[in-house]
Amino acid sequence: MDFNLKKLTSDAGVFFTRAVQFTEEKLGSAEKTELDAHLENLIARADCTKNWTEKIFRQTEVLLQPNPIDHTGARIEEFFYEKLDKKIPSRTTNGELLGQYMLDAAKDFGPGTPYGSTLITVGEYQSRLGGAEREFLQTSAINFLTPLRNFLEGDWRTISKERRLLENRRLDLDICKARVKKAKQAEAKAAAEPDFQETRPRNYVLSASASAAEQELRVAQTEFDRQAEVTRLLLEGISSTHVNHLRCLHEFVEAQATYYAQCHQYMQELQKELSSANSDTYPNSFASNANPSTSATCPSPVSSATLPGVSPPCLASSSTPGIAQEPSGPLKIPDVQQPSTGHRKAKVLYDYDAHDTSELSLLADELITVYTVPGMDPDWLVGERGNQKGKVPVTYLELLS
């Protein structure tokens, strides 16, 4: 008990002395030993690395788990599983949950109905999207978040501990420097007094005190230099930390690219299935009176388009002059001329990239002029936008009246 009390008293005295030295340095009444420029640069670089790593880590967590409530709950769950030394179970993503809801709803609405069958199709793809998201989250957590967390909770804590110890060693060194300075000043003042023979005993004590202070200074300087070297070696390790984080960053980008490519593929497949299902469920027509004076019931040419509720028109078997006949060769788009009647405006529903020079690229929500010509595939129309002309798929259009 006595030993602990003495140690506690000694530690309290050291703490108080350091506090006084620190306060005097802030007030400018005490000298402060400056670190060498190389060590100062390493400290500044380490602080910068820590601050930005922490910000990137937190924001990546928000990106992967955008809901703050879910984010907090997930971290608490991870904490308990880590303490129990058990593997964290795979959590269901929002996409997988939405897909399951759609599949369950389709059972109640009837899988044979148009709405029910569409819910099944969309639900299955939502589940695939959710599965791809879950795989992306797991890969990102292992390859990117974990190394950043290990640095913040491991390496940086060690660096911070050694830096605090270095600061204490510096304070002790400056305290010893101040003591030596005061002892020498007192010794010089006593030596300058006229009655030097009478004050010889006191001068001897002052000289011994100065020698003891110098010895403490040498010990403090040695401990400070040793701690500065340890801290420098740890701070120089920040360079290898950057190399490791660079590799992790590449792996994170690779995981993102894979995830978004899967999502894009799934959505393209879903659009094709929905377009095919819509064309089967809602047959549409695109017809116009090419020649009102003709006696044909329905003029040619005709084509299907996306107008639900309109029945396909009948084909006229008329030899009336003015009605174009089936061409014998392949259709050449540059030679096609817009008819004076039978064309109409159409709104583009989705972006479309032309596969060859005969097709016209489309941008969602733009308006173009479309019409059909004899010999064309019924799933295609001729579209014009200014001086540009080419084939366009009808499933990407909404015909306007």
Q: What is the pLDDT of the chain when averaged over all its residues? A: 79
The predicted-structure confidence for 76-131, as pLDDT tens digits, reads as follows 555 555 556 665 566 788 899 999 999 999 999 998 888 999 999 999 999 999 99
Backbone angles phi, psi at 346, to 5 degrees: -140, 145
CATH architecture of 22-281: Up-down Bundle (1.20)
User: If 0-12 CB within 10 Å is exposed, 13-18 middle and 19+ buried, where does residue 231 land?
Assistant: buried
CA distance 16 to 264: 65
In this prediction, residue 288 carries a pLDDT of: 40
- Average the pLDDT over each of 20-24, 64-68, 117-121, 130-134 and give the range with the smallest value: 64-68
What residue type is assigned to position 323 of the chain? I
DSSP 359: B
More confident residue, 102 or 184: 102
For residue 19, pLDDT over 70 is answered with yes
Beta-carbon count within 10 A of 152 CB: 15
Tell me the residue ranges of DSSP E strands in 231-301. Answer: none
Read off the pLDDT of residues 138-179 as tens digits, 9 standing for 90 and up: 999 999 999 999 999 999 999 999 999 999 998 989 888 888
pLDDT tens per residue, range 373-394: 887 888 899 999 988 999 999 9
Would the pLDDT of 315 be above 90? no
What residue ranges do the domains of the chain occupy?
Answer: 22-281, 343-399
CB 305 within 8 A of CB 399: yes
CB atoms inside a 10 Å sphere around CB 98: 16
Task: Answer yes or no: is pLDDT of 237 > 90.
Answer: yes
Would you place residue 240 in the very low, low, confident or very high pLDDT band (cuts 50, 70, 90)?
Answer: very high
Sheet with 380-385, side-by-side order of all strands: 388-393, 380-385, 367-371, 344-348, 397-399
Distance of alpha carbon 13 from alpha carbon 219, whole angstroms: 19
Q: Classify domain 343-399 at the CATH topology level.
A: SH3 type barrels. (2.30.30)
For 394, other C-beta atoms within 10 Å of its C-beta total: 24
Q: Is the pLDDT of residue 12 over 60?
A: yes
CA–CA distance, 387 with 376 (Å, rounded to integer): 21
pLDDT value, residue 214: 86
Is the whole-model pTM more than 0.85? Answer: no
State the pLDDT at residue 308. 38
State CA 3 to chain mean position distance: 55
Residue 28 confidence (pLDDT): 76
Whether omega before 147 lies within 30 degrees of 0, making that bond cis, reads no
CA distance 388 to 382: 11
> Taking 90 as the threshold, does the pLDDT of residue 396 lie above it?
yes
